């Protein structure tokens, strides 16, 4: 695939932080001592079902019993503690991830666009040391916009002519289409495609990106 710029999703595409996020959120929720949250402490499997959504959408799905103000306050606490926790505990990385990033970086500029909160991508970098492989990044916490809009803003900011988005969900594919760029489905990630879905390429593993991008 001919692409000068590769824009990555983060969760499921570059790492799986669901277990660490669940642990962090569990600690924050228990510390809140809110009786409405007694039966709403998410485990890793529950966290996986909402990864890729914006934080507003996650709050609506996980804590519908709370008022909008209560959800906002809880999410602010969860996100802050999550960033701190992940910077140290991290998530599960992919096989040969650094080697693949290094080779991709030789021929392409690499970027990240995620629906995460501000500080989350920085926590990924702090844990992995991978920041040197990426030219820039942008997230929902920075733009408060849908992923396709965030992708467009990153492309415009960095003059990313001839870009491709790599992600692991149907939502990622739609965001790429709405942003007007090709999509590579990360089949090794957390999501699944619908039978009617037609990505431009499918990566069976992270290392398979070297074949797709001819590195």
Do 183 and 164 touch, CB atoms closer than 8 A?
A: yes
Same domain, 183 and 114: yes
pLDDT of residue 2: 86
The answer on 77 and 156 residing in a single domain is no
Cα(183)–Cα(173) distance, integer angstroms: 6
Q: Are residues 74 and 117 in the same domain?
A: no
- 25 with 105, same domain: the answer is no
Q: Are residues 23 and 106 in the same domain?
A: no
Q: C-alpha angle with apex 111: 107 to 112, nearest 5 degrees?
A: 145
215: pLDDT strictly greater than 80: no
Please give the residue range of the domain that contains residue 26.
18-89
Residue 111 CB burial class (10 angstroms; 0-12, 13-18, ≥19): buried
Q: What is the mean pLDDT of residues 177-184?
A: 98
For residue 33, the model assigns a pLDDT of 87
Domain boundary among 52, 72, 89: 89
| 159 and 192 fall within a common domain | yes
Q: Which of 46, 66, 89 is the last residue of a domain?
A: 89
Structure pTM?
A: 0.92
Closest C-alpha among 113, 123, 192, 193 to residue 146 = 113
Q: E strand or H helix at 18, and its extent?
A: helix 18-32
Q: Are residues 102 and 151 in the same domain?
A: yes
User: Is the predicted pLDDT of residue 189 greater than 80, yes or no?
Assistant: yes
Cβ–Cβ < 8 Å for 164, 6: yes
Q: What is the pLDDT of residue 14?
A: 98
Whether residue 93 is predicted with pLDDT greater than 90 in this model: the reply is yes
pLDDT tens across 142-166, in order? Answer: 999 999 999 999 999 999 989 999 9
User: Can you give the pLDDT at residue 43?
Assistant: 92
Alpha helices in 54-183 (DSSP H): 55-62, 68-89, 97-107, 120-128, 140-143, 147-158, 170-179
CA distance 194 to 37: 33
For 18-68, write each residue's pLDDT tens digit. Answer: 999 999 999 999 998 889 998 889 999 999 999 888 888 999 999 999 999
Higher pLDDT, 197 or 178: 178
Residues 163 and 147 sit within 8 Å (Cβ to Cβ): no
Residue at which a domain ends, from 89, 121, 141: 89
Q: What percent of the chain has pLDDT over 70?
A: 100
> Closest by alpha carbon to 133, among 107, 105, 100?
105
pLDDT of residue 195: 84
Q: 28 in helix, strand or coil?
A: helix
Phi then psi for residue 145, to 5 deg, are: -125, 165
Q: Are residues 71 and 133 in the same domain?
A: no
Domains of the chain: total: 2
Query: In angstroms, what CA-CA distances link 202 with 13, 47, 93, 103, 118?
Result: 12, 24, 19, 19, 29
Same-domain check for residues 81 and 56: yes
Q: Are residues 136 and 40 in the same domain?
A: no
Q: What average pLDDT does range 185-211 have in this prediction? A: 94
The answer on 85 and 100 residing in a single domain is no
pLDDT in tens, 70-83: 999 999 999 999 99
DSSP H or E segment with residue 26: helix 18-32
For residue 169, give the CATH number of its domain: 3.40.50.1000
Q: Mean of the per-residue pLDDT values for the chain?
A: 94
Q: pLDDT tens for residues 112-144?
A: 999 999 999 999 999 999 999 999 999 999 999
Q: Are residues 96 and 83 in the same domain?
A: no
């Amino acid at each position: 695939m001919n692409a000068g710029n590769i824009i990555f999703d983060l969760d499921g595409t570059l790492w799986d932080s669901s277990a660490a996020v669940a642990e962090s959120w569990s600690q924050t929720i228990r510390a809140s001592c809110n009786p409405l949250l007694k039966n709403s402490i998410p485990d890793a499997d529950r966290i996986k079902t909402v990864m890729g959504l914006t934080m507003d959408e996650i709050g609506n799905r996980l804590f519908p019993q709370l008022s909008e103000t209560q959800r906002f306050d809880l999410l602010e606490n969860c996100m802050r503690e999550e960033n701190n926790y992940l910077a140290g505990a991290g998530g599960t990385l992919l096989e040969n991830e650094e080697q693949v990033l290094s080779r991709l970086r030789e021929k392409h500029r690499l970027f990240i666009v995620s629906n995460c909160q501000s500080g989350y991508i920085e926590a990924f970098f702090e844990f992995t040391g991978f920041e040197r492989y990426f030219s820039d990044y942008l997230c929902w916490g920075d733009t408060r916009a849908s992923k396709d809009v965030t992708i467009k803003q990153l492309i415009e900011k960095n003059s990313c002519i001839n870009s491709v988005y790599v992600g692991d969900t149907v939502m990622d594919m739609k965001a790429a289409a709405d942003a007007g760029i090709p999509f590579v489905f990360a089949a090794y990630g957390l999501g699944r495609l619908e039978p009617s879905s037609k990505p431009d390429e499918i990566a069976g593993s992270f290392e398979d990106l070297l074949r797709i991008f001819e590195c």
